[in-house]
């Protein structure tokens, strides 16, 4: 079975609630008018015949989750969050938990994003705890890993990826790993307009697949989705997504515009 591509929008700390709703309205129209004609279920969600070619996930800020959930009702668009705490409840002022995200209608959660690692001191150990909490609560995790420019320039890319992957996935078993998507996001490509070339990304994706084969088995490594993130836009998406081991994209900046994001989804 070919791996179904996953295109996720990471809005980061952008968009008010009305802006989020207006995005979804425009996005649905852009999607409808392009290749994926059967994307929307207009009459009856149960009779929806064909799913969209790609799986589409929108990860808005927490405040917009509820309204976005309402706006995507009856479509195949899925809801995701950008972060969560590993505890389920308690005295953690300002935090949100996996059960709360489930309650809010999320199916996915982005974990270990490089901005969380850099600005909020998230370590692989913390990310590992978050992944376990997410999976326990039936959320699928989009685990982000990636090297800095300095690490790439000193030829440490593969060592960094291996370290992050092994530590973030510590004691995640063969069943649990099936609910994880790996996002390779070179830090130097995020928000810089400087994407990895398809060949550069493919090389790392292939390396990650090889690591997963060693950590798990060949079936798991062949079925898991490894998506790319870092300055993906409507111009470069096609080439990146054409690579054998690139199973989708995690899109930041270009996901803020409904037309650009729709074009990427229709690639």
Cite the active site residues.
113, 185
Residue 160: both structure tokens together: 């960094």
Residue at token pair 């909020």: 120
Size of the site for ligand PGA (CB under 6 A): 13
Which one of 169, 251, 262, 264 is in contact with ligand PGA (CB under 6 A)? 251
Q: Which of residues 13-52 bind ligand PGA (CB under 6 A)?
A: none
60 is a contact residue toward ligand PGA (CB under 6 A)? no
75 is a contact residue toward ligand PGA (CB under 6 A)? no
Which one of 211, 250, 264, 265 is in contact with ligand PGA (CB under 6 A)? 250
Q: Which of residues 164-223 bind ligand PGA (CB under 6 A)?
A: 185, 190-191
CB-nearer residue toward ligand PGA: 10 or 128: 10
CB-nearer residue toward ligand PGA: 216 or 241: 241
Query: Nearest-CA neighbor of 86 among 124, 125, 126?
Result: 126
3-class secondary structure, 206: helix
How far from 42 is each of 45, 69, 73, 79, 262, CA to CA, in Å?
8, 16, 10, 19, 18
Which one of 80, 112, 146, 229 is in contact with ligand PGA (CB under 6 A)? 229
Phi, psi of 35 (to 5 degrees): -60, -35
3-class secondary structure, 144: strand
10 is a contact residue toward ligand PGA (CB under 6 A)? yes
Residue 54: both structure tokens together: 């790609």
* CB 183, min distance to ligand PGA, A: 7
Distance CA 228, CA 6 (A): 10
CB-nearer residue toward ligand PGA: 9 or 133: 9
Greatest distance between any 2 Cα atoms in the chain: 56
Residue ranges binding ligand PGA (CB under 6 A)? 10, 185, 190-191, 229-232, 250-254
């Amino acid at each position: 079975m070919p791996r179904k591509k996953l295109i996720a929008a990471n809005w980061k700390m952008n968009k008010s609630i009305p802006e989020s709703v207006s995005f979804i309205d425009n996005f649905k129209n852009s999607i409808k008018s392009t290749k994926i004609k059967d994307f929307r279920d207009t009459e009856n969600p149960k009779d929806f015949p064909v799913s969209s070619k790609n799986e589409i996930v929108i990860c808005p800020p927490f405040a917009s989750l509820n309204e976005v959930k309402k706006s995507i009702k009856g479509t195949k668009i899925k809801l995701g969050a950008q972060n969560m705490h590993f505890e389920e409840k308690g005295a953690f002022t300002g935090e949100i938990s996996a059960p709360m995200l489930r309650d809010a209608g999320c199916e996915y959660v982005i974990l270990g994003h490089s901005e969380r690692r850099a600005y909020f001191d998230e370590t692989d150990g913390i990310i590992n705890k978050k992944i376990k909490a997410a999976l326990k609560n039936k959320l699928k995790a989009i685990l982000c890993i990636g090297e800095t420019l300095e690490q790439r320039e000193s030829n440490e890319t593969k060592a960094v990826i291996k370290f992050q992957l092994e530590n973030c996935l510590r004691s995640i078993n063969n069943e649990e790993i099936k609910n994880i998507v790996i996002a390779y996001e070179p830090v130097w490509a995020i928000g810089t307009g400087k994407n990895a070339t398809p060949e550069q990304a493919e090389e790392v994706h292939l390396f990650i697949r090889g690591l997963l084969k060693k950590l798990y088995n060949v079936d798991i490594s062949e079925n898991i989705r490894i998506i790319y993130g870092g300055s993906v836009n409507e111009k470069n998406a096609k080439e990146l997504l054409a690579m054998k081991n690139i199973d989708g994209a995690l899109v930041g900046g270009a996901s803020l515009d409904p037309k650009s994001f729709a074009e990427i989804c229709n690639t």
